[in-house]
Amino acid sequence: MKKLVVLLVLAAFVAGGVFAQNRSEPNPDSDFTFDAKTGTIKKYVGTDKRCVVPEAIGGVPVAAIGGGYPGAFTGNKIVTQVVLPPSVVSIGDRAFMNSSLEYITVQGKLKSIGANAFEGTNLKNFISAWPDGSNGILKIPNGLYRNSALTGALEIPANITEIGDYAFAGTQIQSVTLHRNVKRIGAGAFQNCKQLTTVTVSSSISSLIFGSGSFTGTALNAASKKALLDRGAPAGESAFK
């Protein structure tokens, strides 16, 4: 009888753990340190690998995933998936930096994303809910995906005018498409993207400003390099050194 009880308890524990890791319902309020004055999650203190952020904590809408030193998920080695509710419109600086994040679902429309927010994460895909520019978000922040697992084809959102310094440095991307509004590519923006071979530049782009070492350490083919240099400032060559 004792063995049966122990087995039943273990079974319940395992089942509970599986549910938690495949959570569909929001995490309890106790899993978060929350600033009710600003509607900001300051820190995730739960133990689930899949974190479903609630739309409100203590009756107050959750509007932001906090950044800073550290951000809400900075350095978190437990979480691999995060689901953000429609109420969340902002992700702060370094919010997920150096965490084990692999997947993020944004159910609403973001208005801002901070610098280095996804640096050093395991995210493989560019965030789909990128701000549309109606709130003046026209720049991809500095270091946004630096040294992350971002891979495949990268298409810069159509409203973007500037790609920040080291925004995609050290990632595994293989190609980049620049739309008509891009005017500046920051220092080291694609530095050491060793698999990057192709950059497609919109015919609507007449000129580009390069920061130092924008494409240093890449494997750009000759046609891509020429397309960039043809639109570059006199110092354009520094982008490849």
Q: What is the residue type of 130?
A: W
Residues of the chain with pLDDT under 70: 1-23, 233-237
Using a cut of 0.75, tell me whether the model's pTM lies above it.
yes
CA–centroid distance for 219 within its chain: 24
162: left (phi over 0), alpha (psi -120 to 50) or beta: beta
Ordered domains of the chain (ranges, CATH): 1-117 (3.80.10), 138-241 (no CATH)
pLDDT value of residue 23? 59
Measured between alpha carbons, how far is 218 from 229 in angstroms, rounded to an integer? Answer: 15
pLDDT in tens, 167-224: 999 999 999 999 999 999 999 999 999 999 999 999 999 999 999 999 999 999 999 9
Q: Are 188 and 216 in contact (CB under 8 A)?
A: yes
pLDDT value of residue 6? 37
Sheet of 112-113: strand order equals: 32-35, 40-44, 64-65, 90-91, 112-113
Question: Residues 74-77: contacts with CB within 8 Å, 24+ apart?
Answer: 74/98, 74/99, 75/99, 76/44, 76/100, 76/101
Measured between alpha carbons, how far is 49 from 100 in angstroms, rounded to an integer? Answer: 9
187: left (phi over 0), alpha (psi -120 to 50) or beta: beta
pLDDT value of residue 2? 43
Measured between alpha carbons, how far is 218 from 240 in angstroms, rounded to an integer? Answer: 8
Measured between alpha carbons, how far is 199 from 185 in angstroms, rounded to an integer? Answer: 12
pLDDT value of residue 238? 75
Sign of CA dihedral 27, 33, 34, 40: negative
Strand pairing class (64-65; 198-201): unpaired
CA–centroid distance for 218 within its chain: 21
